[in-house]
C-alpha cells in the first residue's frame, strides 16, 4: 500500500524525510514463501489509474534501478497493465524536488489536473500565499497503515507551513465556501487598507503643496469617504498682514486692484513725488514692524525646539522604563519556576517587604507592576500627544517665519523701486506704479497655479472615493455568516452520516446521536469537546471509519471535491470487534457502482473474513503468502 | 490656560480632597530587575564573581542606552575614562543584600561577590529566557568579561586604559 503512495509521489504525506518509504522487501532483500532471502537487484512500481472523465494512465516509478533516479516518474497515456501489448504516448515527470507541484514537468502538477482538482490558494506561515499541497488532502481518503490511524479525521502533515492546514484540507474535500469567503474578506480588508493609505498620501501631498506656497489646507476628509460632495469643500487660506484670508477672497482683492491700476494711466514721477516720499516713510515703518515680528517668531521657534528636544528625551526615557517594567513583569511571572526574585518577606528577618530597592521606610505602598506598566504607558501616550501638538505648532511657526521673510523681501523691492523713481528725472513714468501692477499680476498667476495644481491632485481623491464606494459595496455582498447555507447543509449531512455509521460500527463511549462536527476545526466533538483518542482506542477507530466513510457518502449527494476513492490500510486497528469490522466492510461495499471505490487491505485471518466476504458484493484479491514475489525469469518457450 | 477658561472658572471655589494612591516605582528600582541584573552581571563575569566596584560600574552603566554606549566607546578607546562618570547606585547594595539573603550569592570579606550553585541556576534560566532583559544581556555579554577588575579600577580612577 505504501508503494501505491510512493508511485504517486505522495511520500511527503508520511514524513518530510527524503527516504524511499517502502519496505525492505522492495529495496534490499525479499523473503520468499519458503522463508529464504533473495537480494533485490531491480524493483519499481507500476499503477494504472482512471479518472472521472474515463482517461486511463499508467504510472511507473523506479525504486531500485541502476542508473535511474527515483525522482523520475513515467506516465503512459493508456492502460499499459491491462493491455500490455498496446503502445501509448509517454511522458516523464519529476517528483519530490521543489516545484513538483508548481511546474509543468512536476508529477503532482499533472496529478492535480488528472484528478480534476483546482487546489485553492492558502495562506502560509511565512512567504507568499500558495496552493494547498496535495499531501494535505490525501490523508482524508487514504488511511496509511502506520500513522494514518492516529488522528481523527486524518493524519494531515503540518510541516508544510500552511496556516490552519487541517481546516483547509477538510474545507477543500467538502468543497465548502467558508475558505473562499474568508479569503474574499481578507483580500477586501487589504484593499480597503490600501485605499486608506493612498488617500492619506494624497492628502499629505496636497498639504505639502499648500504649505510650500505659505498656505494651509482645510476641509478635506482625513479618511476615505464615499461622499463625493465632501471632496469639493476644501479651501486654502493664506496669511496676509497677520490675518488668515481664504484664497478666493485674496484673489478677488488682487484682481480688483489690477483692474484699478490698468484703468489709470501711468503717472510721471514728478506728479507722484510727494505721495512716493510718504509711502517710502510708511514702508520703513512697516519693514521695522515685520522684522520685529520675524524676530519674535524666531524666538518662539527656538523655545519650541528646546521643548521638543526635551519631550523627545522624556519619551525615550519612558520607553526605556516601560521596557524595564515589562521585563520585571516577565521576571516575576517566571519566578517560582527557577527561583524567586521578588520576595515579599525579608529572607533573613522575615519582615514584610515592598517591591522596591529603595529604603523601605520611604514608601507607603508601591504600585503593583501591572498598574505601573499602565501608568508608564499612559504617561508615554500623553507625552507623545504633546509632542505631536508641539510639532504642529513648530510647523506653523516655520510657516509664519517664511511668510514674514517673503513679505519683508517684497517690501524691500518696493522701497528700491520708489527710491530709483525718486532719484530719476521727474518727467519719467513712475516705475513704482508699473512694478506694483506686475507684482500683483505675478501673484495672481501663482495663486491660480496653486489652485489648479491642488485641484489636479484632488481629482485623485475622486478616483479613490469611487474605489472606496465599490469596496464598501463588495463588503456588503459578502455574507456576514461564516458559512453559507450550502455549507451548513453539507456539514449537517456529514454529521448525520457519521452518527449513523458510528452507531452501526458499535460506537459505545457515548450515544452516537450526541456526536457533532465542530464548525471551526471540523473535528468530531461532543458538547463542544473534541473527541480524540481519549475515548477507548477501538471507539476512536470506529469514529474514524465513520468520518471517512461519511465524507465518501456525502460526495454522492453533494458536489464536493472528494475523488470518490477511500483506501483503508489495515483498518482493524486496536482489535475493534469482529462485528464492527464486518459492518465496515458491508458499508464500504455499498459504495460499489456509484462511481466510487473503497479499497481495504487487511491481514485478517481468512477464516474470519470468508463468512463476511460471502455476504458482500466486492472484488476480493487474496494473497496466499507474501504479497511481493520475485519476477519469474522469462523463458523462451 | 487662558483666564476666561470655563474649566478654570469651575475650579474656583471648589473643595478638593486627596486620596493616597500606591506610588509608581521606576522599573530599574524593582527588586526582580535589580536582582536579575546582579545575577546576570556575575553570570557573565569571569569565574562567576566580581568585586563590589565592578558591580557598581556595570550596574550604573547598564541602565540607559547612553550610558551603555559610553562604556562601549571607552572600551573601544574612542573616549577617555575621565569622560565616564560612574556613580554609586544605592539600589545595587540592596539588590546584592537580597540576593545574598535568597542564597543566590556569597559575599566574601565584604568585597567579592560570587554566584552560588543555586544562583548560577537562576542566572542561567534568566539568561536563557530570550524575551527578558534583551539590551542588558547584549551589553553584559560584550562588556562583563572584557571589563576586568583591573580595567574597572582604572576607569574608576580615571587613568588611561591603553
Within 8 A of A336 by CB-CB distance, chain B residues are none
Confidence of residue A193 (pLDDT cuts 50, 70, 90): very high
Average pLDDT of the segment spanning A606-616? 82
Is pLDDT of A128 > 80? Answer: no
Confidence of residue A377 (pLDDT cuts 50, 70, 90): very high
pLDDT tens, residue by residue, B21-77 = 888 888 888 988 999 999 999 999 988 989 988 999 999 899 888 889 888 888 888
Q: Which of A438, A583, A458 is nearest to A512 (CA)?
A: A583
Is pLDDT of A576 > 70? Answer: no
pLDDT tens, residue by residue, A3-48 = 888 888 888 888 777 677 787 778 888 887 777 888 888 888 999 9
Sign of CA dihedral A19, A21, A24, A25: negative
Q: How high is the pLDDT of residue A635? A: 46
Indicate the angle between helix axes B134-143 and B65-75, nearest 10 degrees.
10
- Contact between B141 and B44 under an 8 Å Cβ cutoff? The reply is yes
Instruction: Please give the interface size between A and B, counted as residue pairs whose CB atoms are below 8 Å apart.
Output: 120
Nearest to A365 among B22, B33, B131 (CB): B22
pLDDT tens, residue by residue, B80-100 = 888 888 888 889 999 999 999
Within 8 A of A334 by CB-CB distance, chain B residues are 125, 129, 132
Longest CA pairwise span in chain B (Å)? 69
Is pLDDT of B147 > 90? Answer: no
Residue from A317, A322, A325, A328 to probe the interface with B (highest B Cβ count within 10 Å):
A328
Inter-chain touch B26–A321, beta carbons under 8 Å: yes
Alpha-carbon span A314 to A382, nearest angstrom:
11
Average pLDDT of the segment spanning A48-72? 87
Alpha-carbon span A551 to A30, nearest angstrom:
37
Nearest to B27 among A328, A335, A341 (CB): A328
Measured in Å, how far apart are chain B's first and last C-alpha atoms?
57
Confidence of residue A636 (pLDDT cuts 50, 70, 90): very low
Average pLDDT of the segment spanning A443-458? 90
Inter-chain touch B25–A334, beta carbons under 8 Å: no
Residue from B19, B32, B105 to probe the interface with A (highest A Cβ count within 10 Å):
B32
Within 8 A of B20 by CB-CB distance, chain A residues are 364-365
Inter-chain touch B23–A365, beta carbons under 8 Å: yes
Sign of CA dihedral B36, B40, B42, B43: positive
Average pLDDT of the segment spanning A80-87? 84
A427 CB near a chain B CB, below 8 Å? Answer: no
A348 CB near a chain B CB, below 8 Å? Answer: yes
In chain A, which residue's Cα lies nearest the Cα of B35? A341
Inter-chain touch A367–B22, beta carbons under 8 Å: yes
Is pLDDT of A590 > 90? Answer: no
Within 8 A of A343 by CB-CB distance, chain B residues are 31, 98, 101-102
pTM of the model: 0.54
Among A107-116, A154-163, A559-568, the range scoring the smallest mean pLDDT is A154-163
Indicate the angle between helix axes A431-477 and A269-334, nearest 10 degrees.
30
Nearest to B94 among A334, A348, A357 (CB): A357
Nearest to A357 among B91, B104, B129 (CB): B91
Average pLDDT of the segment spanning A471-475? 89
pLDDT tens, residue by residue, A302-328 = 999 999 999 999 999 999 999 999 988
Confidence of residue B104 (pLDDT cuts 50, 70, 90): very high
Q: What percent of chain B lies above the pLDDT cut of 70?
A: 97
Q: How high is the pLDDT of residue A194? A: 92
Within 8 A of B64 by CB-CB distance, chain A residues are 317, 320
Nearest to B32 among A342, A372, A376 (CB): A342
Interface pTM (ipTM) of the complex? 0.86
Q: How high is the pLDDT of residue B95? A: 92
The 3-state secondary structure of B17-35, one letter per residue? CCCCCCECCCHHHCHHHHH
Q: Could you give the 3-state DSSP secondary structure of residue A429?
A: strand
Inter-chain touch B125–A358, beta carbons under 8 Å: no
Better-predicted residue by pLDDT, A108 or A65 = A108
Within 8 A of B31 by CB-CB distance, chain A residues are 341-343, 353, 355-357
A366 CB near a chain B CB, below 8 Å? Answer: yes
Helix and strand element counts for chain A (H, E): 13, 17
The cell for A323 is 521596557
The 10 Å Cβ neighbour count of residue A170 is: 26
Is pLDDT of A389 > 90? Answer: yes
Residue from B25, B39, B116, B130 to probe the interface with A (highest A Cβ count within 10 Å):
B25
Going by the DSSP 8-state scheme, the letter that residue A423 receives in this structure is: H
Nearest to A343 among B91, B98, B121 (CB): B98
pLDDT tens, residue by residue, A524-548 = 888 777 776 566 777 888 888 888 8
Q: Which of A548, A560, A534 is nearest to A501 (CA)?
A: A548
For chain A, how many residues are written?
637
Q: How high is the pLDDT of residue A637? A: 37
Is pLDDT of A465 > 60? Answer: yes
Nearest to B33 among A328, A339, A366 (CB): A328
Q: Could you give the 3-state DSSP secondary structure of residue A33?
A: coil
Within 8 A of B135 by CB-CB distance, chain A residues are 323
Of A253-267, A297-311, A559-573, B88-102, give the range with the top mean pLDDT. A297-311
Alpha-carbon span A516 to A536, nearest angstrom:
18
Amino acid at each position: 500500500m505504501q508503494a501505491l503512495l510512493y508511485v504517486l509521489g505522495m511520500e511527503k504525506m508520511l514524513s518530510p524525510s527524503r527516504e524511499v518509504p517502502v519496505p525492505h522487501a522492495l529495496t534490499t532483500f525479499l523473503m520468499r514463501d519458503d522463508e529464504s532471502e533473495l537480494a533485490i537487484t531491480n524493483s519499481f512500481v507500476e499503477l494504472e489509474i482512471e479518472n472521472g472523465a474515463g482517461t486511463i494512465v499508467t504510472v511507473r516509478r523506479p525504486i531500485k534501478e541502476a542508473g535511474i533516479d527515483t525522482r523520475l516518474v513515467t506516465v503512459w497515456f493508456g492502460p499499459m497493465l491491462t493491455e500490455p501489448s498496446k503502445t501509448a504516448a509517454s511522458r516523464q515527470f519529476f517528483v519530490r524536488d521543489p516545484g513538483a507541484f508548481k511546474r509543468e514537468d512536476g508529477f503532482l502538477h499533472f496529478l492535480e489536473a488528472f484528478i480534476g482538482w483546482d487546489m485553492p490558494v492558502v495562506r502560509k506561515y511565512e512567504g507568499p500565499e500558495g496552493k494547498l499541497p496535495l499531501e494535505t488532502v490525501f490523508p482524508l481518503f487514504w488511511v496509511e497503515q502506520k500513522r494514518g490511524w492516529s488522528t481523527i479525521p486524518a493524519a494531515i502533515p503540518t510541516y508544510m507551513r500552511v496556516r490552519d492546514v487541517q481546516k483547509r484540507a477538510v474545507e477543500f474535500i467538502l468543497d465548502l465556501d467558508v475558505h473562499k469567503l474568508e479569503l474574499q474578506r481578507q483580500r477586501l480588508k487589504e484593499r480597503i487598507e490600501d485605499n486608506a493609505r493612498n488617500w492619506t498620501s494624497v492628502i499629505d501631498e496636497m498639504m505639502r503643496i499648500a504649505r510650500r506656497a505659505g498656505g494651509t489646507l482645510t476641509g478635506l476628509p482625513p479618511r476615505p469617504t464615499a461622499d463625493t460632495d465632501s471632496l469639493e469643500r476644501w479651501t486654502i487660506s493664506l496669511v496676509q498682514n497677520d490675518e488668515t484670508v481664504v484664497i478666493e477672497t485674496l484673489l478677488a482683492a488682487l484682481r480688483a486692484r489690477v483692474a484699478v491700476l490698468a484703468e489709470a494711466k501711468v503717472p510721471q514721477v514728478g506728479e507722484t513725488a510727494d505721495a512716493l516720499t510718504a509711502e517710502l516713510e510708511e514702508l520703513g515703518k512697516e519693514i521695522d514692524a515685520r522684522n520685529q515680528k520675524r524676530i519674535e517668531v524666531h524666538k518662539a521657534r527656538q523655545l519650541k525646539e528646546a521643548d521638543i528636544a526635551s519631550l523627545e528625551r522624556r519619551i525615550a526615557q519612558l520607553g526605556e522604563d516601560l521596557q524595564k517594567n515589562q521585563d520585571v513583569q516577565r521576571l516575576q511571572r517566571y519566578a517560582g519556576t527557577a527561583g524567586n526574585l521578588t520576595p515579599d518577606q525579608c529572607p533573613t528577618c522575615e519582615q514584610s517587604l515592598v517591591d522596591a530597592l529603595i529604603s523601605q521606610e520611604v514608601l507607603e505602598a508601591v504600585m503593583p507592576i501591572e498598574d505601573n506598566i499602565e501608568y508608564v504607558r499612559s504617561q508615554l501616550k500623553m507625552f507623545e500627544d504633546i509632542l505631536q501638538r508641539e510639532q504642529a505648532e513648530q510647523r506653523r511657526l516655520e510657516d509664519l517665519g517664511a511668510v514674514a521673510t517673503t513679505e519683508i523681501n517684497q517690501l524691500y523691492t518696493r522701497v528700491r523701486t520708489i527710491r530709483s523713481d525718486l532719484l530719476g528725472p521727474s518727467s519719467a513714468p513712475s516705475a513704482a506704479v508699473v512694478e506694483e501692477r506686475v507684482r500683483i499680476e505675478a501673484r495672481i498667476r501663482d495663486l491660480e497655479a496653486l489652485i489648479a495644481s491642488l485641484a489636479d491632485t484632488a481629482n485623485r481623491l475622486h478616483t479613490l472615493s469611487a474605489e472606496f464606494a465599490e469596496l464598501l459595496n463588495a463588503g456588503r455582498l459578502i455574507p456576514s455568516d461564516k458559512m453559507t447555507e450550502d455549507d451548513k447543509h453539507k456539514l449537517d449531512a456529514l454529521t448525520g452520516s457519521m452518527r449513523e455509521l458510528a452507531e452501526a460500527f458499535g460506537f459505545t463511549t457515548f450515544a452516537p446521536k450526541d456526536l457533532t462536527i465542530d464548525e471551526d476545526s471540523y473535528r468530531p466533538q461532543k458538547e463542544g469537546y473534541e473527541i480524540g483518542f481519549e475515548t477507548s482506542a477501538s471507539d476512536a477507530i470506529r469514529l474514524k471509519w465513520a468520518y471517512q466513510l461519511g465524507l465518501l457518502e456525502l460526495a454522492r449527494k453533494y458536489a464536493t471535491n472528494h475523488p470518490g476513492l477511500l483506501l483503508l490500510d489495515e483498518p482493524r486497528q486496536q482489535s475493534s470487534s469482529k462485528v464492527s469490522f464486518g459492518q465496515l466492510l458491508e458499508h464500504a461495499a455499498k459504495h460499489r457502482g456509484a462511481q466510487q471505490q473503497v479499497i481495504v487491505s487487511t491481514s485478517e485471518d481468512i477464516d474470519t473474513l470468508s463468512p463476511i466476504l460471502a455476504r458482500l458484493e466486492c472484488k476480493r484479491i487474496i494473497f496466499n503468502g507474501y504479497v511481493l514475489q520475485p519476477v519469474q525469469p522469462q523463458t523462451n518457450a | 490656560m487662558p483666564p476666561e477658561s470655563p474649566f478654570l472658572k469651575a475650579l474656583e471655589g471648589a473643595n478638593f480632597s486627596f486620596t493616597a494612591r500606591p506610588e509608581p516605582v521606576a522599573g530599574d528600582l524593582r527588586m526582580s530587575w535589580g536582582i536579575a541584573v546582579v545575577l546576570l552581571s556575575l553570570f557573565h563575569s569571569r569565574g562567576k564573581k566580581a568585586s563590589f566596584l565592578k558591580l557598581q560600574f556595570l550596574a550604573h552603566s547598564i541602565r540607559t542606552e547612553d550610558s551603555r554606549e559610553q562604556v562601549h566607546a571607552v572600551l573601544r578607546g574612542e573616549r577617555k575614562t575621565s569622560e565616564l562618570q560612574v556613580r554609586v547606585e544605592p539600589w545595587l547594595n540592596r539588590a546584592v543584600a537580597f540576593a545574598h539573603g535568597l542564597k543566590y550569592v556569597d559575599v566574601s570579606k565584604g568585597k567579592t561577590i560570587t554566584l552560588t550553585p543555586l544562583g548560577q541556576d537562576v542566572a542561567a534560566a534568566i539568561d536563557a529566557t530570550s524575551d527578558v532583559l534583551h539590551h542588558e544581556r547584549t551589553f553584559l555579554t560584550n562588556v562583563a568579561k572584557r571589563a576586568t577588575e583591573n580595567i574597572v579600577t582604572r576607569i574608576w580612577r580615571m587613568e588611561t586604559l591603553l
